[in-house]
Structure 1
């Protein structure tokens, strides 16, 4: 039995801290190592293969806005936006080979997210940045036909044989697509309340579009909602 008065061996220390604190101290270097890896744009996880598909809907001639938003979100999660927006140019020196490898991987991710005809048109580009700009210049400029198409879809969309939930889902999808083409204020300094009033007005428009497309069996409920004050939100 150990005598409490005996000196503490040099390789052994006693602490009054809880087991959870000891565990944190033990795993802290490991956590820091993971954070350091993922914060580096040249880091590639074992799942980051060249066959990875980042988005469910491939780029076509009519969905560039929603496609680019989804791709940008995916690249941000992967910490690879520097290869897309040009903030991580090809270096000279020890990191050049790592840059080439990562650039090639990101390029394959873009190819995997394109329809076959579009992929063939950018197959010989030198860098991910060039491909991204090429696609942006070709398809972002076609927003007015897309806006027209979404407005026409909304004007013709009715419940018909759909359930209320399915009907609302189709409406919500069209609203989201249309919203991706609308200008937004990104300065963060709007204090006059005008933006909120504009958003509230869009909510009223959404409510009206939803009610207009409902089947006649909901006419009584629709009338009650229209007479309700304050106006109901789309939620």
Structure 2
């Protein structure tokens, strides 16, 4: 058996061992609307395999050499199989019994090829009527370019054998006019958001090509997408949170309710660092006041917090002073300004006036009177039932001095 040469592989009757009925796969033909693009794709692929001559009848069957005749039959049937593979089922049934690739090719052209006038009219109408309609420029421009390419294939100019300088200038001017027409069609179909860019392109002394204009608009579109995307900062924050916690779970401190730290590192537990305004101070944990109210309401379901009233310039649930209390305050102010130094008589008067004064906005009204949270770190009450989880205290030396001058012992804490 002789070895195949390069000349043998260039012969149209040569079939490669890898060639089969499914070697060519393109978009299937469905009707007149996609026939021209389908035919152009088939022409390119058949030419690359040196088999287009079977469809155009330029490669004929040998009647003298039986071996060459058999090879021609094999190649002819392979071309028919390639065409059948890329036809819709209904169209394939209509050409199933044709015996040569030329018959199938000619039948499809006669059936689906529209006249040049009708096709040109439709293509021109589509080119001027096509709009972007909020689609991406990456999709809008290729769709328009497909129409232009098909129009160019139908408007082929005659071939010029002798090219003079004058003919060359005329051809360059024709190409320039075609390029400007494509540019105007492309800019005309853009959305209104690109009006400023369109004006800048048209004001240039030398108009750019449609490909250059498409590239500029695509860059503008990409820039708009980046600037209008609010997810960038959110994604960076999410990445930081995942890096701190080792996953998507958000860490919440059980002491203060803060995030991104645990309770063993909470400043309300370990103390505030040096330089912090609250360094060295003991502060109530956020939410502890509300928790105290919740425990009190749970133990005393009949009591509900009520706003004490309003004072001009203060919060909506601030304490309202009675006229008698205001008068007492006005009488006290001059004595404070005249006696800045602390004296025992003034202290007694201050204790007498300010003992029991309410400083917290919410109050509970029950049978024992007003229950007020003054915001202090230590509280005293003569009513044992007001205490939460009381502990008996014995042998505690300090006593409590009342505004009346009497002293009482501390019994529970």
Corresponding residue for residue 337 of structure 2: none
Equivalenced residues, count: 204
Q: By how many angstroms is 1:189 displaced?
A: 4.1
Contact 1:62 1:146 in 2 (8 A): no
1:52–1:112 CA contact under 8 A, matched in 2: no
In 2, the alpha carbon distance for the partners of 1:58 and 1:137 equals 14
Looking at structure 2, the residues matched to 69 and 49 of structure 1 have their Cα atoms a distance apart, in angstroms, of 21
Match of 1:36 in 2: 7
Asked if 1:231 is matched to 2:231, the reply is no
- For the aligned residue pairs, the C-alpha RMSD in angstroms reads 2.1
Q: How is 1:9-48 mapped onto 2 (pairs within 5 angstroms)?
A: 33=4, 35-48=6-19
- Determine the C-alpha separation between the residues in 2 that align with 1:108 and 1:230: 52
What pairs up with 1:18-97 in 2 under 5 angstroms?
Answer: 33=4, 35-58=6-29, 60-92=31-63, 93=65, 94-97=67-70
Residue in structure 2 matched with residue 130 of structure 1 by the alignment: 103
Q: Write out per-residue CA displacement over residues 192-220 of structure 1, whole angstroms, 9 at most, x where no aligned residue.
A: 13333222211101100111111222212
Bigger share in helix = 1
Determine if contact 1:65/1:180 at 8 Å carries over to the other structure. no
Separation in 2, partners of 1:196, 1:117: 46
1:7 corresponding residue in structure 2: none
> In proportion to residue count, which structure has more strand?
2
For structure 2, list consecutive stretches of 5 or more residues without a partner in the other structure.
Answer: 212-413
How far 1:77 moved relative to its partner?
0.5
Q: How far apart in 1 are the matches of 2:35 and 2:163?
A: 29
Q: Which position in structure 1 is the counterpart of 2:157?
A: 184
Partner of 1:27: none
The answer on 1:208 being equivalent to 2:181 is no
Instruction: Map 1:98-137 onto structure 2 (within 5 A).
Output: 98-137=71-110
SS in 1 for 2:61: coil
Q: Distance in 2 between matches of 1:190 and 1:121?
A: 48
Task: Tell me if the contact between 1:49 and 1:105 (Cα under 8 Å) persists in the aligned partners.
Answer: yes
Match of 1:195 in 2: 171
Equivalent residue, structure 2, for 1:22: none
Task: Determine if the alignment matches structure 1 residue 222 to structure 2 residue 210.
Answer: no
- Say whether 1:160 aligns with 2:133: yes
Structure 2 partner of 1:3: none
Instruction: Kindly indicate whether structure 1 or structure 2 has the higher relative contact order, using CA contacts under 8 Å at least 6 residues apart.
Output: 1
Per mean C-alpha deviation after superposition, the further-off stretch among 46-55 and 138-147 is 138-147
